[in-house]
Amino acid sequence: MLQLYFVAGTPDCPGGDLARVLAEAIRGGITAYQFREKGPGALHGRARFELAAQLRELCASAGVPFIVNDDVELALALSADGVHVGQTDAPAAEVRRRIGAMLLGVSAHDAGEARRAAADGADYLGVGPMYPTATKLDARTVQGPGVLSRLRESGLMLPIVGIGGITAARAAAVTGAGADGIAVVSAISRAADPFRAAQQFSTPGSLAYRD
């Protein structure tokens, strides 16, 4: 499910039409979706909840796991498939207690954070930024795919998705360095054709495709 993990909120989509973009991305072959409604232009309150419920339904009918970024209440209310938290969000151990068997993803940047996330009950790690990104304004210094090899060499067994500035042309370098999949925002959300953009990552024979 981590092979092609699409992450997006309203501000990531031209015209704010996230439901259309997600429907096209699903048609193009994404294997998981994370609702990350953050930053300038993000929806709040009822509008945010209603959009999330609509997207949850889209994912459910396509059999695509629906993960909520940093909002346990919302994830529980929508019977989401999981929750993803960063290092400055709610503590992973506390989130694990609250969500029971739901999937738990944690952003980690080095072996120490990765070990702690594993001990806290993470099912997978998001590691980045792989490349420069304009999407996350507070992203850390670019690490490059080399950090993945170092994490694997340190003995880390948890599934990993690389994130940050990943394009179809760069995906193979990320999976080749030890990631199980890639997470992308703008490569799909800001593409003129999100269906084709997702397909470029997911189609056999494309640069980014993995069995």
Q: Footprint of ligand 3NM on this chain (CB under 6 A)?
A: 7, 107, 126, 128-129, 133, 135-136, 139, 163-166, 184-187
Detail the residues annotated as belonging to a binding site: 34-38, 69-70, 89, 107, 133-136, 165, 185-186
Return d(Cα 91, Cα 84) in angstroms, integer. 11
**Annotated catalytic residue within 27, 48, 79, 136:** 136
Q: 161 φ, ψ to 5°?
A: -110, 135
CA distance 9 to 69: 10
Residue 170 annotated in active site: no
Query: Shortest approach of ligand 3NM to residue 98 CB, angstroms?
Result: 22
Q: With respect to ligand 3NM, which residue has the nearer C-beta, 10 or 107?
A: 107
Residue whose C-alpha is closest to residue 35's, from 79, 95, 75: 75
In the complex with ligand 3NM, the residue whose CB is nearer, 87 or 203, is 87
What are the binding residues for Mg(2+)? Answer: 70, 89
CB 92 within 8 A of CB 85: yes
Q: What is the largest CA-CA distance in the chain?
A: 46
63 versus 206: smaller Cβ distance to ligand 3NM: 206
Q: How far is the CB of 88 from ligand 3NM (least distance, A)?
A: 11
The 10 Å Cβ neighbour count of residue 54 is: 13
Q: Is 107 an annotated catalytic residue?
A: yes
To ligand 3NM, the closest distance from the beta carbon of 166 in angstroms equals 6
Contacts 24+ apart (CB under 8 A), 139-147: 139/164, 140/109, 143/109, 145/173, 145/174, 145/176, 145/177, 145/178, 145/179, 146/177, 147/109, 147/110
Between 60 and 139, whose beta carbon lies closer to ligand 3NM?
A: 139
- Which of the residues 56, 96, 107, 170 is marked catalytic? 107
- Active-site residue list: 36, 107, 136
